[in-house]
Amino acid sequence: MENAINRQFYLHQRPAGMPSTSDVRRRDAAIPRPRDGEVLIRNRYFSLDPAIRGWMSDTPSYLPPIPLGQAITSTTLGDVVQSRHPDCREGDVVYGLNAWEDFSAAPGSYLMKVPPENRFPLHYYLSVFGAVGMTSYFGILEAGKPRPGETVLISAAAGAVGSVAGQIAKILGCRVVGLAGTDAKCRWITDDLGFDAAINYRDCGPLTEAIAGACPEGVDVYFDNVGGAILDAALMNLKDHARIVFCGAISGYNAAEPVPGPYNWWQILARSVTVQGFLVSNHVAQFPQGVARMSEWVAAGRIRFQEQIVDGFENTLAAFLTLFDGTNTGKLIVRVVPD
Ligand code: NAP
């Protein structure tokens, strides 16, 4: 590590709209020195998540905004190369909230360890066994709570969260309908993942009618990753006592102006709907049980998923932007260090 440098992407200015290379810049920084209770991590992979866009803004949220001048906050997975925490050792593979940089210093108590007996590729701990997979798992099981035979509608259904959420709802015996932005994504979730129906929301005519056609008895659980016009169309198709899992609102993450709507909010009252704001960080203590069950499903081929692994630190920002035009296919990860 003597001559190693610490490449970083950092926040130079808050983006208005899609982040650009003027907002998020590259620099070479010093390798941080871990303090008491911290470890130094050499990051192998970055998890690119839509939420990072929110942390670049200074609107109130569940995490403080990224301060200007600081490396971009991101979940990463890497090796402990120095430890000043009693429970972490050099060589442990850990994941947690760090930053888009080669080396991160982080409190050992905030990090999760990949179990030494792990038999899966390490990057699964940023996808199906990480916060994303746990969002699908706890979002369906603890927030949506669908019963067998109920209809579950999912937006961004071919994405990292949505594709796994839909398969869990299938395991529970539900009828599952997905919304996605291309015919290829729709074919993947129906033909390969077993969704009962899919709607290409960009090419289906009026969306409210398209959802009604695919969900003729109405929707019991709407798992919303998108917000905006898709939420409005879903609201018009809810059954009495339906539940909405409000998991994300990616359609508005790059909005430069305040986002209007939802216009059909009255349906919440008219249908006695329960809306549950879902935040995966509220379930961290339950992750081991979620990962254990997900591992069984993955090993048995009952849960399938797609990862898009982009090689090279320098490609991080460009890859991140594909989340917002739908050209990403599955869980987006950057491999910083070759395997
Ligand atoms: P992802 O679905 O793998 O990728 C994002 C997808 O969103 C894109 O591929 C695109 O798919 C769709 N999209 C982008 N812009 C859109 C727009 N304007 N209108 C409609 N769809 C749009 O990403 P992910 O990591 O699984 O995240 C999905 C959602 O879950 C995000 O809202 C994220 O913030 C949320 N999330 C929440 C939690 C939590 O704890 N609450 C945790 C993790 C993630 P199409 O091609 O189908 O349009």
Per residue in 206-255, pLDDT (tens digit) is 999 999 999 999 999 999 999 999 999 999 999 999 999 999 999 999 99
Q: Residue 293 — pLDDT band, cuts 50, 70, 90?
A: very high
Ligand 1, residue 331: give the atom nearest the CA. Answer: 3
What is the whole-number distance in angstroms between the Cα of residue 156 and the centre of ligand 1?
5
What is the whole-number distance in angstroms between the Cα of residue 136 and the centre of ligand 1?
12
| Structure token digits, residue 115 | 């179990």
CB neighbourhood size of 332 (10 A): 24
Assessment of whether the complete model's pTM goes beyond 0.75? yes
Average pLDDT over residues 317-338: 96
Residue closest via CA to ligand 1's atom 7 equals 156
Q: Which CATH number applies to 6-127+306-335?
A: 3.90.180.10
324 lines ligand 1 (CB under 6 A): yes
CA distances from 39 to 51, 92, 225 (A): 25, 10, 34
- Give the model's pLDDT for residue 4: 82
**Rounded CA gap, 222 and 241, in Å?**
12
Say which residues have a Cβ less than 8 Å from residue 283's Cβ, sequence separation at least 6.
Answer: 134, 138, 142, 290
What is the whole-number distance in angstroms between the Cα of residue 324 and the centre of ligand 1?
8
Per residue in 14-48, pLDDT (tens digit) is 999 999 999 999 999 999 999 999 999 999 999 99
Q: Which CATH superfamily is domain 136-281 in?
A: NAD(P)-binding Rossmann-like Domain (3.40.50.720)
**Rounded CA gap, 25 and 155, in Å?**
32
49 lines ligand 1 (CB under 6 A): yes
Q: Residue 1 — pLDDT band, cuts 50, 70, 90?
A: low
279 lines ligand 1 (CB under 6 A): yes
| Structure token digits, residue 16 | 């208005």
**Rounded CA gap, 190 and 188, in Å?**
6
Question: Contact, 238 vs 218, CB < 8 A?
Answer: yes
Q: Residue 261 — pLDDT band, cuts 50, 70, 90?
A: confident
| Structure token digits, residue 247 | 């998991």
Q: Domain spans of the chain?
A: 6-127+306-335, 136-281
User: Locate tokens 């015919």: which residue?
Assistant: 183
Pick from 66, 130, 128: nearest CA to 93: 130
